[in-house]
Amino acid sequence: MNAAWIKTTAQELGFHLVGIASAERPPEADFLQEWLRKGFAGEMTYLSRNVEKREHPRLLFPPARSIIVCGLSYHSRTDETERISPQPIGQISRYARGADYHHVLKEKLFALLHLMQADTPRPIVAKVCVDTAPLLERACAKSAGLGWIGKHGGVINPRYGSWCFLGEILVDFECEYDTPMKDGCGACTRCLDACPTGALIAPYTLDARKCLSYLTIEHRGVIPETLRPALGNCVFGCDRCQEVCPYNQQADAPGLAEFLPRESLKHLSLEWLATLSEHDFPHIFADSPILRTGWRGLLRNTAVAIGNSHDRDLLPVLRQLSRSPESLIREHAEWGMTRLLS
């Protein structure tokens, strides 16, 4: 099938980036097992499952011969002004301020696959993947020429930076493949220097156990006390390593409607978050990545953020959280009260 036609069609569907790579085992797969062996994945045990499939696309999907990798920027200029608020707010990572990217990407990827199928007389055997599949998608994106893997671990494109979602279609035909880009980070270490917990222990190496995104989203238990002050007002994710990247600071901002910050998420009052009920949580954050952290996790994070806020007017809110039947919430609320009063 014609590679140029695939790319043009993908762009017409709204994808900002598209490239094609052979479904070979990527060189970056060599680092996966060593990274897991060192325990850097923390509680993300799902990364230890299907390791062989993660390392080789053809073990995940035997018919695969090529991988079509598509990128969709979620960057918008409104992200740069939305933090202004007269009251303490909870900070949410940029990628989670709009619609759930899984749904948006899958819809566009299946639309692309449908158009590809309509353009060829033979059936296409294919598999659509969006980050929940055991696939080294950043390595695939690098192989497909979408960008290079930056020192913070994300794929950096010269035009769109690392503010991009990735999705893939594994197909059973060979195609004209793209050439990987050269690493453009050079001697820059701004992302490593900006990490408040030292989670980026070396270029291209993340110890997730110290990462604020991991601690506020994937981690289900108690946040280590030594790391709580570094959370600041983060209640879901952290963008600090990305925000300081020179490529991200000058990146194009398409401002796709699906990923524009919801009005309800622009100024999330910490006081309001602390009163959120378990019943209301799934309704308020429907079709949002924030569902990933769960109600208990969000209130745990909120208690820490209030403790870091220096706003003693929020002490009554923490006292109320300290009476929660959930021990996870109680412990962090008690810590927050101690920090506000110290």
- Does residue 131 have an active-site annotation? yes
Which residues touch 22 (CB under 8 Å, ≥6 apart)? 65, 66, 67, 143, 174, 177
Q: How far is CA 268 from CA 117, 180, 276, in A?
A: 44, 40, 11
Residue 83: Cβ within 10 Å count = 11
As a whole number of angstroms, the distance between CA 65 and CA 230 comes to 45
Report helix, strand or coil for 45: helix
φ and ψ of 99, to 5 deg: -70, 160
Annotated catalytic residue within 131, 172, 287, 311: 131
Listed residue (263, 306, 300, 258) closest to 278, CA to CA: 300
Residues annotated as part of the active site: 131
